[in-house]
Amino acid sequence: MIYFLAGVAAIAGLLFGYDEGVIAVASPTLRADFPMSALVDGFMTAAVPLGALIGAILAGRLTDRFGRRRVLMAAATLFAAGALGAAMIEALWVLVLARLVLGLAVGLAAVVSPLYISESAPLSIRGALVATYQLAITFGIVASYLTGLLITGPGSWRVMFAVGAVPGFLFLLGLLFLPESPRWLVLRGRAEEAADSLTRLRGGQAGVAAEISEIARYAGAETKADTGFAALLHPTVFPALVVGVGLFFLQQLSGINAVIYYAPQIFNHAGFDDHTTQVLATVGIGTVNFVVTILAMWLIDHWGRRPLLVAGFAGTAASLLLIAATLLLPSLLPSWIVIVALLAYIASFAVSVGPLPHVMMSEVFPLRARGPGMSMASVSNWGFNFIVVFSFPLLLADFGLAATFSLFGVICIAGIGFTLLRVPETNGLSLERIEAHLRSGQPLALLRPTP
Ligand code: BGC
């Protein structure tokens, strides 16, 4: 059952990736039907991250009030409605609206899906299950690139948008068969339903009573404390907020979405002006991103979070600086190094910097602050996503590719320092054990699994 739950919840990730990537492949035929100014184009493209930002802000309160599953069902409905709406539009402003709705769904689901998985998973495979969410994002990106390759011709953008409704419906259908998160039910004082839910998730009653009483012990203590966004500033919660928000800041400022959205232009800038080379290299980037994320799912629960993060930031920093050096010293370094280094960058990202912020934001917050905490982390994800995607063309024009990539590289080096100073090792620890450490008042970064 837990695998089914993780699979269903991960459809949200697929939709996240698909809605990110589809605009790149849909825009040539869309523009032929609806010529648009740069401003309208920008607003239409940005409507998804903007909607996602709003969805992420709303998600915390909504999910604490209505539960994980019901918010996801609402998101699934919005996904399907937004996709069909976008496919059928007759005026551009309706497309902007439809993409805002899609963004809203992405933002809600981006907070609640990993939360739902993490609260339902047994701890031995929790990291890997939450990482399926990241795998689904990367699959969504490749799927959108491939849809763009397969569906061609005038008006094909309508089909590309409509395809997004299919996983939306499947998502809704799957959710109908799933139980509510046992942790949320305990928090609402519905212990019996929580036990039923956990029995279904674990496929039997073994250990269920013990797990429920462990959750209840923590939930009971919580009701006396601050809840909601105010709780995030409490000294025992704030270090978790720093980790959640900080990791997404670093993830986005590592420049990932400059690469995901602008890969063809980057190759062009690096001197590969043949269109086919650009497209193939872009599909290559999407594929490496997807395949390496599979490896990450295994490594996260075997290597642990901290070593993997340090290795990932070191790899992305080295690749970015190598690209910058190749661009600056064309007589010394051949230009193919740019392609190889960009693939190395994506691999380093996908093995660590991509999935780990999603995994860790679902682990570090104490139960009472988990909804608002994950909301804030997602706001950081979408806010900085938006900033990087918008500023990249300007940075490119004003400072050039080498300087921009060097900046991203320096931020990745800062990511190593941040990990060592602030990020705990949560591998193999129950969510309750992580919470006990926060309460003890000891620095969060000192948390280690007890052998
Ligand atoms: C990030 C997205 C990014 C994706 C690429 C995710 O972890 O949050 O912004 O586009 O990785 O694989």
Q: Is residue 196 part of a domain?
A: no
With a CB cutoff of 8 Å and minimum separation 6, the contacts of 34 are 92, 95
Whether residue 167 lies inside any domain: the answer is yes
On whether residue 159 sits in a domain, the answer given is yes
**For residue 203, is it within any domain?**
no
In-domain check, residue 106: yes
Q: How far is the CA of 349 from the centre of ligand 1 (A)?
A: 9
Residue-by-residue DSSP string for 338-373? HHHHHHHHHHHIIIIITHHHHHHHTTSS-GGGHHHH
Indicate which residue's Cα is closest to atom 7 of ligand 1: 354
Question: 10: domain range?
Answer: 2-178+225-446
Number of H helices, E strands in the chain: 18, 0
Q: Which helix (H) or strand (E) holds 92?
A: helix 92-120
Instruction: Note the pTM of the prediction, 2 decimals.
Output: 0.82
Q: How far are the Cα atoms of 87, 341, 342 from residue 319, in angstroms, in the given order?
A: 39, 5, 7
Q: What are the b/e assignments for 387-396, b being 16+ CB within 10 Å?
A: ebbeebeebb
Please say whether the beta carbons of 371 and 379 come within 8 A. no
Distance between CA atoms of 47 and 24, rounded to whole angstroms?
14
Residue 383 covered by a domain: yes
**How far away, in angstroms, is 137 Cα from ligand 1 center?**
7
Q: What is the CATH number of the domain that holds 131?
A: 1.20.1250.20
Over its length of 451 residues, how does the chain's per-residue pLDDT go in tens digits?
A: 888 888 888 898 999 899 888 887 787 788 889 998 767 777 787 788 889 999 988 988 898 899 999 999 999 999 999 999 999 999 999 999 999 999 999 999 988 988 888 888 877 787 777 778 888 999 999 998 888 778 878 999 999 999 999 999 999 999 999 999 888 888 888 888 888 888 888 888 887 888 888 877 766 655 545 557 788 999 989 999 999 999 999 999 999 988 887 777 788 888 888 767 777 787 888 899 999 999 998 898 889 999 999 999 999 999 999 999 999 999 999 988 999 999 999 999 999 999 999 889 888 999 888 878 988 998 999 999 888 877 887 888 889 999 999 999 999 999 999 999 999 999 888 888 999 999 998 999 999 887 6
What is the tally of structural domains in the chain?
Answer: 1
- Which atom of ligand 1 has the smallest separation from the CA of 260? 10
Residues with a CB atom less than 6 Å from ligand 1:
20, 134, 137-138, 251, 256-257, 260, 289, 354, 381, 385
Rg (CA), the chain: 22
Residue 256 Cα to ligand 1 middle (Å) = 7
Identify whether 258 is part of a domain. Answer: yes
- Is 197 within the bounds of a domain? no
Nearest Cα to Cα of residue 141 among 251, 287, 18, 290: 18
Where do we find the tokens 């500023």?
391
| Cα 297 to Cα 315: distance, rounded to the nearest angstrom | 18
| Nearest ligand 1 atom to alpha carbon 138 | 12
